[in-house]
Amino acid sequence: MQKEDKKIPKTVWITGASSGLGLATAEAFRNRGWLVVAGARSFNEEAPNNEENMVRLKLDVTSEESCNRFVQKALELSPTVDALVCGAAVLVLGSCEMTSVEEYRRVMETNFLGALRMVSCALPHMREQKSGRIMLFSSINGLLGIPFQSAYTASKHAMEGYAECLSMETKPYGIQVCLIEPGDHRGGSDRTRLHAAREDESSPYKDAYESACAVIHRDETGGLLPEKLGQKVVRNAEKRRMKFRLRVAKFDQSLAVLLHTLLPEWLNSWILRDYYRGGKNK
């Protein structure tokens, strides 16, 4: 009897896979039988704590050297990269005035440039194999701005424009691109939710900032389950033709995006300012 060849599972690289939506997405891919090469700064390179179909590698997306080392080890595990999911992100809360250039740079380096580094690493291999799925975590914040999240919002707006360009350029090589646009979800890590250093008791925005932070915390605490998002990401990755935009948000947040395109700017601004001003009173 001829010995049956063992089927090689599809391989996905996932950044920011230690907590929150990145972790939920990694687990969803693993549960569907994919080989998951998960990367995060917090992973221990010497003691990776791997599981079946899940290999954890230390990865700092702000370091080109770390990205190259991750890719080298990933290709030793599997010669193909069927999908890349860029989920590494950091959030710095603060007013535009009180958020420093260095804090903006930190957010952009992780959320936007970190994704670019990993895409640049994956693309040569995807072009050679004439296939691949690139899934980039944007956000509802990539479609509209809210008070005191300007750094995060700017990084996600940049991701939206970049993904549109990337999709057009890579289509001839059989590569598909998806923007994942989550609303509020539960279970994020405090390690990636930071506050601008100058946003203190002396800040002229102190009261409005504290109200907005209370609303943000309330919305995240009552947000959607990360596991549901992970399952939707995998289902999209396994489609013959991926959705370019995969929005996973509650009705009110999806409605806010729609209204942002329909209402005049002054009315949108009034609605959002009023909503985030009510954190201490609701």
- What's 95's domain CATH number? 3.40.50.720
Using CA atoms, how far apart are residues 69 and 200, in angstroms rounded to an integer? 39
* Range 114-118 average pLDDT: 98
* Range 75-80 average pLDDT: 95
What are the pLDDT digits (tens) for 234-275?
A: 999 999 999 999 999 999 999 999 999 999 999 999 999 999
* Range 19-25 average pLDDT: 94
* Range 187-203 average pLDDT: 84
Q: How many domains does the chain have?
A: 1
Which residues does residue 13 pair with via DSSP β-bridges, in sequence order?
37, 84
Q: Say if residue 87's pLDDT is above 60.
A: yes
Place of tokens 């995969």: 246
* Range 139-166 average pLDDT: 97
250 in any annotated domain = yes
* Range 73-97 average pLDDT: 96
Is residue 144 a contact partner of residue 257, using CB atoms and an 8 Å limit? yes
Question: Smallest Cα–Cα separation from 135: which of 106, 105, 170, 186?
Answer: 170
Burial of 114 (0-12, 13-18, 19+ CB in 10 A): buried
Tell me how many degrees the CA angle 262-272-90 measures, rounded to the nearest 5: 105
Is residue 129 a contact partner of residue 166, using CB atoms and an 8 Å limit? no
Q: Say if residue 277's pLDDT is above 60.
A: yes
87 in any annotated domain = yes
Look at residue 4 in the predicted model and tell me its pLDDT: 42
Residues annotated catalytic, as ranges: 152
Dig out the tokens for 178 from the structure.
């998806």
Look at residue 10 in the predicted model and tell me its pLDDT: 95
Residue 282's pLDDT band (cuts 50, 70, 90): very low
Percent of the chain at pLDDT > 70 equals 93
Q: What are phi and psi of 47, to 5 degrees?
A: -130, 80
Q: Say if residue 177's pLDDT is above 60.
A: yes
Using CA atoms, how far apart are residues 193 and 184, in angstroms rounded to an integer? 13
5 in any annotated domain = no
| Higher pLDDT pick, 51 / 98 | 98
* Range 212-218 average pLDDT: 93
Mean pLDDT of all residues belonging to the chain: 92
Using CA atoms, how far apart are residues 84 and 73, in angstroms rounded to an integer? 15
Q: How is the chain classified by DSSP, letter by letter?
A: -PPPPPPPPPEEEEESTTSHHHHHHHHHHHHTTPEEEEEETTS-SSS---BTTEEEEE--TT-HHHHHHHHHHHHHH-S---EEEE----EEEB-TTTS-HHHHHHHHIIIIIHHHHHHHHHHHHHHHHT-EEEEEE--GGGTS--TTBHHHHHHHHHHHHHHHHHHHHHGGGTEEEEEEEE--BS---GGGEEE-TT-STT-TTHHHHHHHHHHHHHHHHT-B-HHHHHHHHHHHHTSSS--SEEEE--HHHHHHHHHHHHS-HHHHHHHHHHHHHTTTT-
Give the range of the structural domain holding residue 149, as residue numbers without chain letter: 11-277
Dig out the tokens for 29 from the structure.
């891919």
Q: Say if residue 186's pLDDT is above 60.
A: yes
3-17, 37-51, 164-178, range with greatest mean pLDDT? 164-178
Q: What is the pTM of this model?
A: 0.92
Is residue 87 a contact partner of residue 94, using CB atoms and an 8 Å limit? no
Look at residue 48 in the predicted model and tell me its pLDDT: 58
2 in any annotated domain = no
The whole-angstrom distance between residue 183's C-alpha and the CA centroid of its chain comes to: 11
Q: Say if residue 189's pLDDT is above 90.
A: no
What are the pLDDT digits (tens) for 23-57?
A: 999 999 999 999 999 999 999 765 556 778 999 99
6 in any annotated domain = no
Q: Say if residue 190's pLDDT is above 70.
A: no
